[in-house]
Amino acid sequence: MHAATTPMRPSLALFGIEPWRAALEFASLKVSGVPVTASGDGHPVIIFPGLASDGRAVAPLRKYCTRLGYSAMDWGRGRNNGPTGDIGTWLDALAEHVENLMQGSDQPATLIGWSLGGLYARESAKLLPGRVRQVITIGTPFNASADHTNVGWLYRLVSGTKAAIAPALAAKLRTPPPVPTVSIYSRSDGIVAWQTCLHAKGTHATDIEVRGSHIGMGWNPAVLRVVGERLQSAQTAHAH
């Protein structure tokens, strides 16, 4: 990681006020909104919700991307209950599902994932060469080792076992996909340690800090602005 600080579990104080902060962020979006200053090229934008959430949770983000002029949709699998069975087989099936969502468009997609959904976005991009334009993750703790207790629950879920996640799988999840990749994170995240959302030095990926809660990231105006900027910059790069 490009931060020297050892990952720490977010404080109980931050954790306890997550719902309150998320509500304030939602109110801020409703009151101020996020201006639309550019026109999108209509390419598919697929959004993966976090653990125990569904398309309703990412609706503000999806609607914002639609307003920008992109063909935005959620992952279409309902509630995210985590992978089941063999993780490799499960991810292969998910990537096939994602490719089906892109049918009808000859443009590569942007994959956006919130929390656990960010791991889905990253791994799907690795399995769909030439079909993904960029990946954006939001509060996704991909850069952790097996013994990081602050994300142990998530890694145990992804590994499909209560035992510690295998180092090989941890390394796989840590490796960014071979397309432009952005990680949006918050130092005041009350669910995951912000350090685990950072890429190692020397990768082609970019980390962008915002201020906000974990639960409210999907409608945090600062997050939406970053997403809009990255969609526009990738659109410009793709056009050339």
Q: Which residue has the tokens 């639609």?
A: 66
Domain extents for the chain?
51-235
pLDDT at residue 170 in the model: 79
pLDDT at residue 162 in the model: 54
User: How crowded is residue 103: how many other Cβ atoms within 10 Å of its Cβ?
Assistant: 7
Instruction: State which H helix or E strand residue 16 sits in.
Output: helix 12-16
Q: How far apart are CA 106 and CA 26, in angstroms?
A: 34
207, 183 Cβ separation under 8 angstroms: yes
Structure tokens at 109: 């997609």
**What is the mean pLDDT of each successive set of 10 residues along the chain, which is 240 residues long?**
57 76 86 79 96 90 96 94 86 96 94 94 97 97 63 56 64 93 94 89 92 93 95 84
Residue 131's nearest CA partner among 95, 94, 87, 164 is: 95
Q: How far apart are CA 83 and CA 76, in angstroms?
A: 15
pLDDT at residue 9 in the model: 72
pLDDT at residue 201 in the model: 86
Backbone angles phi, psi at 105, to 5 degrees: -125, 135
- Domain range 51-235, its CATH number among 3.10.20.30, 3.10.180.10, 3.40.50.1820, 3.40.50.10490: 3.40.50.1820
Contacting residues for 62 by C-beta, under 8 A, at least 6 apart: 45, 47, 55, 72, 73, 74
Q: How far apart are CA 165 and CA 146, in angstroms?
A: 5
For the full predicted model, state whether its pTM sits above 0.75: yes
* Cα atoms in the Cβ-side hemisphere of radius 13 Å centred on 83: 24
Q: Which residue has the tokens 């840590």?
A: 174
CA 84 to chain centre: 20
pLDDT at residue 125 in the model: 98
